[in-house]
Amino acid sequence: MPGQWLVRAEWNWIWGLELYGLNMQAAHTRAINNTVRVGTGLTLWNNGPGMIAYGNIIFEDKSTNETMHNIYTQNEYDNYGYKYFVRNVSLESSKNGCSSGSQDCYSFHAYATADTVSGYDMLENVIAPNRFLIGGYGVPTDHVVLRNNYLYQSDMQLGYSRPLQAEVRNNYCARSGLMFEWLWGAGEVRHIQKAPTLFYDNTFLTSGTGDVVEPDDGIVAIGSGGPYALAAARALSRHTGMTAKEIAMEALKTSAEICIYTNSEITVEEL
């Protein structure tokens, strides 16, 4: 459907449409399983609680002159709780300058210059490629939860000019970097941290020089016994029908038999 859809009435669900921009400005609205060609992108604004984006595909439409962020959003957790972004796919935002005034458009852009940017729960989204930002200029960013997201060539920036509080776990970042603009510490006197910052079980594939790399066969090993474990895992993967857990166990056992710094007391966690 041509033109931007603007939703200003509460409890509307926009489901299964192909649109050139979807602007959600009302409480309890849902964008579900839509295809959004970035004319004006998918926007969830700071207009109330219960706003959800689920299963949408957002990408730049090169046939139009509009260049906007794929996803643009603002939120204030203390008044509206979380905004939820679940299983969306944001692909290749414009790199030719952005109509919003940014140098480049972002695949995901949660930003404000005066209002707060807080309260985002993001689960199992795919962001590829370009830039990812959650942070407001001069205001703290808190109550941010990023879980099980996949980023490809999309550097993740969390916080902008003021401190960040977030839980970042189980994300997979291939050829992507991560920047924390500002964490809470002794130097922060203007704002009180409302929750701890947690960062764990994320996967970033980088070389020793900081370059981001991606293995050809999906197998990575680190540590003193890493080369032995990697060789064993590759052989087992190519020539047996063993599961990933079984391969990891056997590869580490092989490494322990060769490398004096690798022990055979092994615990495996599956995601």
Q: What angle do CA 168, 85, 180 make, to 5 degrees?
A: 30
| One domain for residues 59 and 38 | yes
> Which residue bears the tokens 């219960």?
50
Residue 267: which domain range? 215-271
Within-domain flag for 209: no
What local confidence, expressed as pLDDT, does residue 146 receive? 94
Q: Which residues contact 1 (CB under 8 A, 6 or more apart)?
A: 17, 18, 19, 20
Within-domain flag for 120: yes
Please report, in tens digits, the pLDDT of each residue of the chain (271 residues total).
666 899 999 999 999 999 988 999 999 999 999 999 876 789 999 888 999 999 999 987 655 555 678 899 999 998 999 999 999 999 877 665 565 555 567 889 998 877 778 999 999 999 988 888 898 777 778 899 999 999 988 888 887 766 778 899 888 888 787 777 655 555 566 667 677 778 888 888 765 555 655 667 778 776 778 888 989 999 999 999 999 999 999 999 999 999 887 888 888 867 5
| One domain for residues 195 and 219 | no
CA 69 to chain centre: 15
What local confidence, expressed as pLDDT, does residue 61 receive? 66
Q: How far apart are CA 146 and CA 150, in angstroms?
A: 10
What local confidence, expressed as pLDDT, does residue 240 receive? 92
Q: Which residues contact 99 (CB under 8 A, 6 or more apart)?
A: 66, 67, 68
- Integer Rg of the chain from CA: 21
| One domain for residues 219 and 170 | no
Number of folded domains in the chain?
2
| One domain for residues 106 and 237 | no
234: left (phi over 0), alpha (psi -120 to 50) or beta: alpha
Helical packing angle, 244-258 and 226-239, nearest 10°: 140
